[in-house]
Structure 1
Amino acid sequence: MTDKAPDAFRTIGEVSKALSIQPHVLRYWEEQFPMLRPVKRAGGRRLYRPEDVELLAVIDRLVHREGFTLRGAKKWLQSRDKMELAPEPVAPAPAGDPQLVADLIALRAQLARALA
């Protein structure tokens, strides 16, 4: 992106250039995606944290490459956040058919690659 450290905050211009997204689009997405909240300095200057930049890259991929609407991308991101916060099961599932278990593990890996 620039010569800054990976955990450094970025200006809207730096993010715009790095992700090839116009600044007005970034500002609009801030209104549409409540989870996107860059730090605002005096005079309204935006500084994006690394997690903001990652979220913008995901939004860009969903909207421009995968064909999501903004509304659909917002719902997908909100459901993803809920899935990540879901508690782990208290007890492990009982062992089942070894072939079924192998098939399910392969399917899970395939889904993870598709969502990455």
Structure 2
Amino acid sequence: MLKPVTPDTEKRLRIGQVARRLGVEPYVLRFWEEEFPQLTAARTSKGQRYYTEEHVRVLEQIRHLLYVEKLTIKGARQKLEGAASVRAPLDAIRGELQEIRRLLTENP
């Protein structure tokens, strides 16, 4: 699952910009949002979708799985879920190490 977006600090891309970058139509991105629980675009107060670079990386993975590896939606979803299950413990370890670094730099 992608982390929450902080609109003031992260570069935001609109759906059309991301669609052009990936070489797909915007409706394809909307469809992928429905099919892949890992992907949820943030929205402005007016309901417009926007994506961060992290979202784009996930979309690029989805595009690769579907268009290059020729997986079905179900197969791509399973492969992404498998990658996320491997990545989750690494993210937890990374967070702990960052906390240790912070503690060491605060209290010399």
Structure 1 position 10, deviation (Å):
0.3
Structure 1 position 21, deviation (Å):
1.0
Counterpart of 1:19?
A: 22
Corresponding position: 1:77 with 2:86: no
Alignment gaps of 5+ in structure 1 = 1-6, 88-116
**Alpha-carbon distance between aligned partners in 1 of 2:58 and 2:87, rounded to the nearest angstrom:** 15
> When the two structures are superposed, what TM-score results if normalisation uses the length of structure 2?
0.70
- For residue 46 of structure 2, give the secondary structure of its aligned residue in structure 1: helix
Alignment gaps of 5+ in structure 2 = 1-9, 91-108
Counterpart of 2:59?
A: 56
Structure 1 position 34, deviation (Å):
0.8
**Alpha-carbon distance between aligned partners in 1 of 2:22 and 2:77, rounded to the nearest angstrom:** 19
**Alpha-carbon distance between aligned partners in 2 of 1:41 and 1:29, rounded to the nearest angstrom:** 19
Larger Rg: 1
Corresponding position: 1:34 with 2:37: yes
* Greater RCO, 1 or 2 (C-alpha within 8 Å, sep 6+): 2
Name the aligned partner's letter for residue 40 of structure 1: R
Structure 1 position 8, deviation (Å):
1.1
**Alpha-carbon distance between aligned partners in 1 of 2:48 and 2:32, rounded to the nearest angstrom:** 16
Name the aligned partner's letter for residue 16 of structure 2: G
Runs of at least 4 residues off by over 6 Å: none
- For residue 68 of structure 1, give the secondary structure of its aligned residue in structure 2: coil
Counterpart of 1:8?
A: 11
> When the two structures are superposed, what TM-score results if normalisation uses the length of structure 1?
0.66
Structure 1 position 42, deviation (Å):
2.5
- For residue 34 of structure 2, give the secondary structure of its aligned residue in structure 1: helix
**Identical positions, percent:** 33
Aligned residues: 81
Corresponding position: 1:44 with 2:37: no
